[in-house]
Structure 1
């Protein structure tokens, strides 16, 4: 007696998508295509919220229809509810990290799986919470995608969907149709979209873009940048290799010309109010550092005023005076970068200024696809602390507020549930505008004095080190990387920064001083509570070499 299932097995499809990306709609479209072609279907979803704030695995099985043969009693197949590692024919991932997770979990395998993945990145919580650069290398994910699938189809399907004013599920559906992995023609896919009756035109446009993208070769990892022979900075390339777009190539060439112009004539790239600063950059600083200096000039002027920019250039000039001749000017370049970052620290005035910028509000309108004349509300969720309020006030008043118990209780009662401010409303905008107007008073604030004193002490130590160990001085300058965030995060960073400077002073004169400080800094960026740094210090004190540690676990 022959079995009704002889020689036949279901087509298995796993979809990995995050909330709001239409993963459920995509699964429903696939089911509709299969059922319209006479296939039996099974569609389930397994929600997961631990890592990706709503990442869900949707699973579809399609079994060829038709009556069973022989004396079989069962007329319909029994299909699985969950994907089985090594048994998935098609994996669709809405983001590059999700493709990596599919490979890690065994859903995508090189012997059978067609992997369709969008190459855009939506960073995971681990990547966002890392104190250093917590991003996973896109090249590594791309290499895994090529190696972990029988057929890999990749493109920025999110960008294609946004261009069509649709969602990524539609462009991924088009890529699935274009892949040829399912035995259905294009019309069947498009009919499923039309039958849904929602956003049909936009979905069909995104579908067509995804279909066309599936016909092109998947992007390849970019080759790693060569490691410099000396102790200079290492360039890390994270990106995608794909067929060259003439328009994109022209834009890249234009950007390169602007960078070259920054070296030849910095004054041409800044406003009239900063022409004197640009002229000073040209006259007083080494050419390799000028582009970075221009960014710092503009940043400090927008943050405070042109006098603040002059102070910025005065500080960087101290490093230019001790720079190595005819070299890459690493010390001056890194000083230009990190001094500007620290001098433009985030306070309540800066936050208010950024939130009411016209460019920012225009960007929100563009991202929300608001039509001309359409009303748009932007609501900010704020949670001010006593320290932030005290730091903004004049020094004497700020110290009194910071030490006042009753003021702290009052602020705690008012803000314990946070505050919602409508930036696009009269009251909300006026509140933020009034806060931003305190910018001329910032130099008198409690935090301003504290930050400037800390900056000068840091620079003095780096310059002292430069006299005996150039590389150590560069690493001391880069220790500013641990200062970021606000509240408890900034406090932990400040504590780690103080430890790093103390260790740098103790390391001065050792041949491995710079390399050891790099490893200590990486340990400081590895976690927020400082345990990795304390362990590295203990190993250093015991005489053992400090192990190399990536900032991202």
Structure 2
């Protein structure tokens, strides 16, 4: 990490403007931060100008706010630039880690000049989210690049710090800027600028001061390429008699290594359906745990039970039309979207969803007998599919569409009787039967078979592609069950299946297994 260099010793001349580039996404207060910096400079007798160039929507680029400032010289107004020039920016402020990386790629961060102030939290890009497996960019690569490219780096999670203090990231970034010494203004001047804003002053000052202290004491934090798994510990009470009974079952019947995942599974399935459904989940895992213990799982740390706790919950909380409708009409979702877009209390926000239902989903939502009756009549199925299979833009904030989705979400009470549920149960039991059949002969391979459930996700076309990949990976089981390295090869096949949507890498991996 480069050493601290005071502004006063590094800028002996003020004939050249001091330049600051801010890279921020919508809702992060980049415009507010830019206005604060300009207001601060003008209050100190400097002349300043800010411009902005909007980025592309859907997290493929941030807005760049560019500020230049210079002390007034003999009453003459300077001519400022409208855009940052690569190799000539004094301070770069990135409101997200990958935006810091992009600033390096753009050339606006240079080792002889630029102080880089960046938040290390992540807002994932579309390209990261659409990867079937783990498409998240490696933060360690960005940190290495910024340490090399910048004169000095201040990087920590400014988003979390701001939220803890009831503010937004612009306040904590302003505090880090004050602590960096990049501007020749005292801390009190920064605070006065926030007070002049008129709204959310106390929360902004709390975040500002917390960030100032953090940047002054420990300006950087270590990052890992492996995301930290945040699982709650098993509580003494869940606050409801039905849930307390489930918590007590976990504590009494299962190994401690599985407690966090079992508790997460109980919460997920209670939210998905009801406490009774979560009880069914514990019943099923209890049977698997008994088989695990019989197969000598205690010497393996009950790895089979631990993975069963995770993936049985995933299998039981499948994505169906009822679940999607339920998530779309939740009050918490409307509140979250309003917060993300920065809507004011007197503003109306409409969300437009793109939905493309197929008759397959409709039949899956119907009672099992009726759904099968329609599917077994191809001409009727095709006729109904022509009516249903259309793209629709749904405004969930309108009364018509909200009530429609709300009605569909209410079908959860009859979910256990639907065709989709029957098929999920059938597939789940076949998968678990295959895994338990391997326990006594190849324990590690049995664990990997459980892990293969990761391939099945989503609904509609996404779910169909996932099932196809799952089946293709499982098709290699007959070639691997008697091999000592069978578990390792099964893991490689799953990783290959997660590399691309079309399964090209999986094709190659299966051919390799076929030659063993």
Q: TM-score normalised to the size of structure 2?
A: 0.80
Instruction: Label 1:141 to 1:321 Cα distance change in 2 as closer, same or farther (>3 A).
Output: farther
Separation (CA, whole Å) in 1 of partners of 2:243 and 2:294: 22
Q: How does 1:129-208 map to 2 (within 5 A)?
A: 129-138=130-139, 141-142=142-143, 144-162=145-163, 166-186=167-187, 188-189=189-190, 206-208=207-209
Out of 133-142 and 382-391, give the one that drifted further.
133-142
Deviation string, structure 1 residues 115-167 (Cα, Å, up to 9, x no partner): 11123321111222222233335455455545543332234433454466554
Give the conservation status (yes or no) of the 8 Å contact 1:9–1:63. yes
Instruction: Measure, in 1, the Cα distance between the counterparts of 2:238 and 2:171.
Output: 42
Change (3 A) 1:518 1:430: same
Cα deviation per residue 1:394-428 (whole Å; 9 max; x = unaligned)?
A: 12322355552232232245xx33322349x6x76
- Going from structure 1 to structure 2, the CA distance change for 1:459 and 1:517 (only over 3 Å counts) comes to same
1:19 touches 1:53 (CA, 8 Å); kept in 2?
no
Structure 2 counterpart of 1:548: none
TM superposition shift of 1:334: 0.2
1:482-527 CA distance string (max 9 Å, x none): 1112222222111111111012332222233222222221121122
Question: For the residues of structure 2 that align with 1:201 and 1:288, how far apart are their CA atoms?
Answer: 43
Matched, 1:475 2:482: no
CA distance in structure 2 between the aligned counterparts of 1:30 and 1:471, rounded to whole angstroms:
58
Offset at 1:199? 6.3
Q: Which residue of 2 aligns with 1:249?
A: none
- Which residue in the other structure is 1:435 paired with? 408
Cα RMSD (Å) of the superposition?
A: 4.1
Structure 1 residues 278, 11: CA separation in 2 closer, same or farther (over 3 Å shift)?
closer
Q: Provide the C-alpha distance between the structure 1 equivalents of 2:373 and 2:220, rounded to a whole number of angstroms.
A: 59
1:64-95 Cα offsets, whole Å, 9 max, x none, are 54269xxxxxx776655443444322110111
* Distance in 2 between residues matched to 1:324 and 1:205, nearest whole Å: 51
Query: Any conservation in 1 of the 2:139–2:223 contact (CA below 8 Å)?
Result: no
| Matching residue of 2:4 | none
| 3-state SS in 1 of match to 2:117 | strand
Unpaired runs of 5+ residues, structure 2, are 1-11
Query: What CA distance in whole angstroms lies between the structure 2 residues aligned with 1:455 and 1:8?
Result: 72
What does 1:27-426 align with in structure 2 at a 5 Å threshold?
A: 27-35=34-42, 37=44, 39=46, 41=48, 43-49=50-56, 52-66=59-73, 80-138=81-139, 141-142=142-143, 144-162=145-163, 166-186=167-187, 188-189=189-190, 206-221=207-222, 236=226, 238=228, 258-259=233-234, 271-273=240-242, 281=250, 284-302=253-271, 303-304=273-274, 305-306=276-277, 308-309=280-281, 311-313=283-285, 316-317=288-289, 318-354=291-327, 381=353, 383=355, 385-386=357-358, 387-401=360-374, 403=378, 404-412=381-389, 416-422=391-397
- Equivalent in the alignment of 1:466: 439
- Gaps of at least 5 residues in structure 1 are 69-74, 225-235, 240-251, 263-267, 544-553
1:222-243 per-residue CA deviation (whole Å, 9 max, x = no partner) reads 689xxxxxxxxxxx4549xxxx
User: What is aligned with 1:530?
Assistant: 503
SS in 2 for 1:523: helix
Taking the aligned partners of 1:168 and 1:477, their CA distance within structure 2 comes to 41
Deviation of 1:42 (Å): 5.4
Q: Deviations over 1:295-320 (max 9, x none)?
A: 33454455253563365335534444
Q: Do the aligned residues in 2 keep the contact of 1:166 with 1:203 (CA within 8 Å)?
A: yes
Q: Is the contact made by 1:143 and 1:221 (CA closer than 8 Å) also made in structure 2?
A: no
SS of match in other structure, 1:52? coil
Q: What is the count of residue pairs matched by the alignment?
A: 496
